[in-house]
Structure 1
Amino acid sequence: MAMRSDAPQSLQSRIGTLQFTHDFANGYPTDETVALLFDTRDFQRACQAYLWALPAASFVAWQQGVSGMGAGNGQIASFLTYEARKGILTANATTPYYLGFADLTDGPLVMEMPEGVRGGIIDAWQRSLPGTEKAARYLLVAPGAEPPQNTEGLQVRVSPTMNIMIGVRITATDPAQADAALAAIKVYPYAQRKAPTAAAIFDTGTTSWSGTPPRGLRYWELVHTVLQREPAQERDTFFWAMLRPLGFEKGKPFAPDERQTRLLTEAALVGEAMAKANTADRRFADVKYRPGAHWDFALQLDADNPDAFWNLLDERASWFYEAVSAGPDMAPKRPGPSSAYLGAYRDSTGAWLDGGRSYRLRVPPDPPVDLFWSVTVYDVDTRALILNDQQIADRSSRMPLKKNDDGSVDIFCGPQAPAGFEQNWIPTVPGRNWFAYFRLYEPRQAYFDRAWPLPDFEPLA
C-alpha cells in the first residue's frame, strides 16, 4: 500500500535523521528537526570561524601573554632564554627576539628602526604594515585618525587596527654591533618626539609563559576581544554575521547561554582538529618543495602579490595555526635578504613524526644559503619549541656540528643521543608527536630552482 503523502516522513543525512510533516518537498521540518538544523548550522559556522579567526586570536593570546609578564604599552621586550622563547609559536631556538605590543587608542607612536636589525610592524590580523621592515623613523597612526600636521623626518603608517606588534631580530654576530643596534630601537608617543623617553627594554628572563591560542570557550573570548576593539574589515563581514547567533555582537559583553556555550566549546575542539589536519597535511597546489618528499612550503604567500594571501582561508589558517606574522620576506621567490621556511610532519615512510622513535635527517652538502640554515623541532601540542629536559630544540650551521666526508651533516632526532653524534642530536619526548622547520636564511638560487635535494627524516631501527 502506498504511503500517504501527508504522513510524516524521514530523511537520512550526514547530520542524522531529519523528520518532516509530510515528504521533504511538501512538508515542514518537525520542531526537533528545526532545533537540530539550527544547532548544526551554528556549529558548522563556528568551526569555519575558528579557522578564519586564527591570526587575530593568536595575536591577542600573544599580546596578553607579553603584557601579563609586565611589559608596558609599546615597550620592547627581549626573549633571549629558552624558557622565554618557547612561549612563541615556532620560534627560532637561537635567534634573539625583541618585540612589543602597542595600543594606538591614546594617540600615535613613533618607532625608530635602526640599521642592522630585521623586523617590521604587524596589525592585529598579523598583516605587515608596508615598508616597515626598513631602517627608518615611523609614525604609527590609529585607523580613521588624521596624522599630525608635523611629520617631518617620519614615515607615516596608518594601521588598519588599533593594536599592533613591533618585532625585531638582531642578526649581527658581533656583540658590539648587536648591542649598538639594540640600543637604537626606540618606541615612544608622538607627543614626546622632541624629548623622547623610550622605556627600557623589558627583560622576560626565564619566565614561563605561552602565546599559544587557548582551547575551549577561552578561544572565543579572544575572538570577542577582537570584535570589540578592532574595526571590522570588509572581507570579514560575513564571518562576524555567522557568529552573531552565538553571542558575538559589537558593543555587547560576551555571555553565551547554555546552548551557545555547548556549541562553541565543541566547535573549538573540532575547529582545532580541522586546523591541525589543514596544517600537517596541506592540500594546496604546489605545496611540496620537491616531488616525492614530505617537506612543505610552510607559508603559501605569493611574495609578488602578498595581499592575496589574506583572502585564502585554508592557506592562511595552515600558517597561523602554528606560526606568527607573515610577510613577503618569509616566502621569497628569488635571492635576497629573506628567510625561507620548510615544514615536515611525516617521515620518509609517510608516518607521523613520533617522539618515541629515532630519526636521521641528512642535510646534503652545499646548502643554498648566504647566512645559515637551521633545523628546529616543535611540540605538536604547543606548536612551540619542543619541551625536553635538555632544552635543545635545534641544530644549525652556526654550531660546531660533526660532518660526513662528503660535507653532508646528519641531524638526529630521538629520545636517546646517538653515540659519537651528540652535538648533532635534538632530543624528542616519547608519547608526544613533533614537527620540524628547516630554515634557510638568505637562500640562493638553488633553493628556488628546487635543485638542492633536502631528504625526509629517515626512521632508524
Structure 2
Amino acid sequence: MATPASALDTRIGPITLEGQLPDRASIGKLYEELDFQQATQAYLWSLPLVSYAQWEKEFHDKLGARNGDLMVLTSYEDKLGVITANATTPYILGFVDLNETGPLVIELPPGPTAGGIGDFWQRAIIDMGQTGPDQGKGGKYLVLPPGTQAPEDARDYYLAKSQTMNVLVGFRVLDPDPAKGKALVEQFRMYPLKDKANPAPTRLLSPDGKRWSGTQPRGMEYWQRLHQIIQREPVNERDRFYMAMLASLGIEKDKPFTPTAAQRKALEQGVQMGELIAKANTFAKRFAQARYWPDRQWDTVLNITDPSQRVAYYDQLWERSAWFYEAVTNTKGMVSQTPGLGQTYLGAYTDAKGNWLDGGKSYTLHVGANPPARQFWSLTVYDIDSRCLIDNPQRKADLSSRQDLKHNADGSVDLYFGPQAPQGHEANWVQTLPGKQWFSYMRLYAPTEAYFDKSWKLDDIQLRP
C-alpha cells in the first residue's frame, strides 16, 4: 500500500510530504533554504572581521601602506573612508600582520591621546593613552601573537596578548593645537621586537586626496574578502560552528574559494538579506537598554558591555553586529562608566516623530546649556549608505564646542541640518543632500556625572516647517 502524500505550508511555500518525510523533490528546496540561512547568519557574524579586512586592503592597495605603516588622517577628505569617523580630532591608524613581524613593540609618547590595540574581531586588547595603563604618560607596549610566550624583559612593557594574527593600532590626538598634535605623532614608534636594538623609523603616510573606502563591500566581494582574511587567521573556538556554515558555502581555511552555482546563489542572496537585517538591527535597535532616555529618540549606539564582547552566558552577537555595521573599533574608553574619562556616543536615526532623517528636508536640534562633557562635545552627520561622513559640497559634517558657534542668551545652541543654510545661522549648519538619508552621533568627550545620572537631556531632532 502506497504512503499517502500531503503538503505542509511553510515560510518557503508548500513542502510535499510522503508520510512524515519530505518527498525527494523537496529535498533540494530545503537545502537551498538552509544554504541561504547559513549565508545570512555568516554575513551578520563576520561583519567586524570583514570590516577590518576591507580597511586594511584599501590602505595597502589604494594608499600604498605597508605592514606596520601608520596612516595619519587629519583632513575632511582623509576621513571620508572611515565608518562613522569623528570629524574633530586626527586619527593615527595602522594595521600590522603579526605573521610577518612576530611580537610588536609600540612606543607611545606622553600626551593627550586616546586609543588602543584591537584584534581583527574588533575586540579591544588593551587601551593606550588616557584610558590605558600609561594614563597619558606614555610608555612601551608589546603585542604578542596567539600562542607566543612573553619574553624575559616583559616587565618593561605593557603586554597586549592578541587572539588574532592581524591587529589594528590606532589613537586620536586630543590636543586642539595642530602643531602640538603633529609633534606628538612624530614621536610614535612601532617595530618588531626582534629589531629593538636598531628599529627602523615608523613610516607616517597620508591619503593625499586619494579616494578609499572602509565600508564593507557588497555582493560576492564581501565573501572574497572574508575568504582572504580567514586564510591569515587562526580559528577561535567560539567560531567553529560558523566555520562549518562557511564550509557548506565553499569558504574554508587552506582551500581555494570556487563556489558552485548553488553556493554562489546562496551567498548572493545571503549578503543582500544580511545587510537588510543589519540595517534593521542597527538603525531600529531592539536591545532592551538601547534607548538612552525613554522619552527621547537618542540611542546608546555602543551596546557591547565589555570590549571582549562576552557576558555571563553568551557573546553579544547582535549587539556586535549592530555596532560594527555602523562603526569601527572598540576600546574600554568607549564604554567607560567613569565620569570624566573616555567618551560616549549617542545616535539619532530619526526625527522626534520617529521618521527617518531625509537629506532633502530641513531640521533643527536644540542643545541645552552646559552639555556634560569635560573636554568637548561634537555632533556629526553621516551618510546612511556608506556610514561615513556626509560627502557634501560644504565639506563639513560636524558641529562642536570647539567651533565658533552662535549661542543663545542662556548658553544653549541651536543646530541646523538641511540642503540650504538658514539665514543668519550659517555657522551652526551642516548641509545634507536631497535623495540621501542621514543619521547623526552626539559625542561627549570625558562625559560628566550629569550624563550618567541623566539629569541633562538632549532634545530630539525636529523637522522644520
Question: Normalization by structure 1: what TM-score?
Answer: 0.95
Gap change, CA 1:21 and 1:269, over 3 Å in 2: same
Contact 2:363 2:463 in 1 (8 A): yes
Question: Who is 1:401 aligned against?
Answer: 405
Q: CA deviation at 1:89?
A: 0.4
Distance 1:442 1:158 in 2: 27
Letter paired with 1:6? T
- Equivalent residue runs for 1:341-380 within 5 Å: 341-380=345-384
Instruction: Find out whether 1:414 has 2:418 as its counterpart.
Output: yes
Q: CA deviation at 1:435?
A: 0.4
Gap change, CA 1:118 and 1:286, over 3 Å in 2: same
Question: Who is 1:295 aligned against?
Answer: 298
Contact 2:104 2:144 in 1 (8 A): yes
- Equivalent residue runs for 1:118-267 within 5 Å: 118-132=114-128, 133=132, 134=134, 135-151=138-154, 153-267=156-270
Instruction: Find out whether 1:439 has 2:440 as its counterpart.
Output: no
The C-alpha deviation readout for 1:53-102, integer Å capped at 9, x for no partner, is: 11101010111111121111111111112121010000011211110000
Contact 1:85 1:93 in 2 (8 A): yes
Gap change, CA 1:12 and 1:228, over 3 Å in 2: same
Contact 2:127 2:333 in 1 (8 A): no
Q: CA deviation at 1:148?
A: 3.7
User: What is the DSSP-based 3-state SS (H/G/I as helix, E as strand, rest coil) of the residue aligned with 1:308?
Assistant: coil
Question: Who is 2:93 aligned against?
Answer: 99
Contact 1:142 1:159 in 2 (8 A): yes
In terms of mean alpha carbon deviation, does 299-308 or 74-83 score higher? 299-308
Q: CA deviation at 1:215?
A: 0.3
In terms of mean alpha carbon deviation, does 421-430 or 245-254 score higher? 245-254
Question: Who is 2:315 aligned against?
Answer: 311
Distance 1:178 1:271 in 2: 40
Contact 1:414 1:429 in 2 (8 A): yes
Q: Percent identity?
A: 44
Question: Who is 2:55 aligned against?
Answer: 62
Instruction: Let me know the Cα RMSD of the aligned residues.
Output: 1.7
The C-alpha deviation readout for 1:217-268, integer Å capped at 9, x for no partner, is: 1111122123221111111111111221100222101111111111101110
Q: CA deviation at 1:179?
A: 2.7
Instruction: Find out whether 1:74 has 2:73 as its counterpart.
Output: no
Letter paired with 1:62? W
Instruction: Find out whether 1:385 has 2:389 as its counterpart.
Output: yes
Letter paired with 2:355? A
Question: Who is 2:28 aligned against?
Answer: 35
Distance 1:221 1:341 in 2: 32
Contact 2:126 2:331 in 1 (8 A): no
The C-alpha deviation readout for 1:139-176, integer Å capped at 9, x for no partner, is: 22221233444446223323111100110111112344
Gap change, CA 1:115 and 1:50, over 3 Å in 2: same
Instruction: Find out whether 1:330 has 2:339 as its counterpart.
Output: no
Distance 2:428 2:214 in 1: 29
Q: CA deviation at 1:197?
A: 1.5
Instruction: Find out whether 1:339 has 2:338 as its counterpart.
Output: no
Q: CA deviation at 1:341?
A: 0.2
User: What is the DSSP-based 3-state SS (H/G/I as helix, E as strand, rest coil) of the residue aligned with 2:160?
Assistant: strand
User: What is the DSSP-based 3-state SS (H/G/I as helix, E as strand, rest coil) of the residue aligned with 1:370?
Assistant: strand
User: Which of 22, 37, 41 is residue 44 of structure 1 equivalent to?
Assistant: 37
Distance 1:368 1:345 in 2: 22
Gap change, CA 1:265 and 1:96, over 3 Å in 2: same
Distance 2:401 2:127 in 1: 30
Distance 2:307 2:251 in 1: 36
Distance 1:388 1:99 in 2: 25
Question: Who is 1:424 aligned against?
Answer: 428
Letter paired with 1:21? E
Q: CA deviation at 1:306?
A: 5.8
User: What is the DSSP-based 3-state SS (H/G/I as helix, E as strand, rest coil) of the residue aligned with 1:376?
Assistant: strand
Instruction: Find out whether 1:113 has 2:108 as its counterpart.
Output: yes
Q: CA deviation at 1:331?
A: 1.9
Gap change, CA 1:304 and 1:211, over 3 Å in 2: closer
Residues paired across the two proteins, number: 454
Q: CA deviation at 1:137?
A: 0.8
User: What is the DSSP-based 3-state SS (H/G/I as helix, E as strand, rest coil) of the residue aligned with 2:156?
Assistant: coil
Distance 1:174 1:274 in 2: 42
Distance 2:36 2:360 in 1: 36
Contact 1:303 1:333 in 2 (8 A): no
Distance 1:71 1:258 in 2: 36
Letter paired with 2:88? T
User: What is the DSSP-based 3-state SS (H/G/I as helix, E as strand, rest coil) of the residue aligned with 2:124?
Assistant: coil
Q: CA deviation at 1:297?
A: 0.2
In terms of mean alpha carbon deviation, does 39-48 or 266-275 score higher? 39-48
Contact 2:164 2:234 in 1 (8 A): yes
Distance 1:441 1:82 in 2: 20
Q: CA deviation at 1:305?
A: 8.0
Question: Who is 1:85 aligned against?
Answer: 79
Q: Can you give the 5+ residue segments of structure 2 that lack an aligned partner in the other structure? A: none
Question: Normalization by structure 2: what TM-score?
Answer: 0.94
Report the structure, 1 or 2, having the larger strand content: 2
Question: Who is 2:12 aligned against?
Answer: 15
Q: CA deviation at 1:294?
A: 0.7
Distance 1:156 1:455 in 2: 43
